[in-house]
Amino acid sequence: MKNLTLLLLLFAFAPLGAQHSADALVADWERAKAFTLEYLEAMPADQLDLRPTPEIRSFAELMTHIAEANYGFGAPGTAQEMPSKPEDSGMDEDITKESLTQKVSDSYDYVINGIRNLDAQRMGEDVQLFGQFDMDRATALDKAFEHQTHHRGQVSVYLRLAGVTPPGMKLF
């Protein structure tokens, strides 16, 4: 019994990437993409510039941040080249709901396709995030998932301020 308890504890504290197959990671990212796109769809097009307070990002800026971070975390996590520098994909003056949705959707596809195409043996390879954080690829993908989840949660406040009920939780 003692060995079984120890084994269960070790499994519980293993990195996410070690617990999940590539198929499971892809399924999680596809669910996250669908959930994020539901949030985008729920926001009225004339409210993209909504800011809960003047000093924080607008709705569109927050969604752009999620997209840019998917690339920033996803590139080292999946061993892909980053398609552009984050500063090159900033806010357009004439951003539309459609262009924002495409930008966000493309960023999720980038991570999803990267996971699909990465040899599982490479998940343990060491990488560096943002020139300063050392970790393995699986951990980088864990951090990417945590990041987009955190910011998508913030979007609930923006939707409520716009008079919109956020989409229901998508755990499965």
* Contact (Cβ atoms closer than 8 angstroms) between residue 115 and residue 142: no
Q: What is the per-residue DSSP string for 85-125? A: -GGGG---TT--HHHHHHHHHHHHHHHHHHHHHS-GGGGGS
Any bridge partners for residue 126, and if so which? 136
Count of beta carbons in the 10 Å neighbourhood of residue 152: 20
Bind-site residues for a divalent metal cation: 65, 147, 151
- Helix, strand, coil percentages (3-state) for the chain, rounded to 5, are 65, 5, 30
Bind-site residues: 65, 147, 151
